[in-house]
Structure 1
Amino acid sequence: MSLLIQLKDEMKVAMRAKDKVRLGAIRMAISAVKQTEIDNKTELDDASIIGVITKMVKQRKDSIAMFLEGGRDELAAKEAEEVTALEAFLPTPLTDDEVSTLINDTITQVGASSMADMGKVMGVLKPLMQGKADLGAVSGKVRAALNA
């Protein structure tokens, strides 16, 4: 079942359960997917939808940090509920060991030896880790591995 169909089915479940926060988060996700499809004039596949949802989760996590810093705990709690609702549609996150193994295997596979090869390594890793790991952190680990 495609991820968009799964989102729509879960929206119906949230409506029946009268779960307003989850329903709102799912509706925002569907809206973001449709907007991206319109902007790109193409139909998104599951990997692209995961990218959209990952971006939404990251935005909400940033908002949580700002709300907590500003003393707005009730807004931070609402954002945290939305993160939980959205993360249900993302693949299982990779462990640190799995990330390290993938990085080392990819560096060997590509034959990377310096920072000049970082683009090649990230080009292979990005589709493998999309939605499963923070690509910013992965980039830092790749940089450290290539500098070692």
Structure 2
Amino acid sequence: MSSLEQLYQQVILDHSRMRHGSGPVEGVQSSSHQVNPTCGDEVTLGVSLAEDGHIDHLVWDGDGCSISQASLSILSDLTEGKSATEVSRLYAAMETMMHSRNQGVDDEVLDLLGDGAALEGTSQFANRVKCALLGWYALRDALAKLGTDIAGEGQ
């Protein structure tokens, strides 16, 4: 295993243990519960927006594999205080990376995703792609309920 693969594995393990943003999903404007029927991972993610549309509060509670838990922790770090436009770019970058089948993506995508780049290697396993994207789909759904489309065309 290369030193980069070891580093990425450690980032995933650290985030799955520390679980940034994890807590009771209470006092939020919108929430979404998502389940990955393939493996049983599940998450309830709640979000509140400030008047200017920035993410004011994001919290999640869930159970699952280290990939899903790490991805949720990374999502929490990446989206905190971000505008809908910024979150839309992050969402698109994550989808691009996770659908790359580990064939590589532009460095710009990896740079934008920060610690999320550690999940790139999981894109070669179709069943793990669902794990990594579960929280992102919950965020998309919760924001859509508030009238904010982060997956819309032209974003």
Give TM-score scaled by structure 1 length. Answer: 0.39
Higher helix share: 1
Give TM-score scaled by structure 2 length. Answer: 0.38
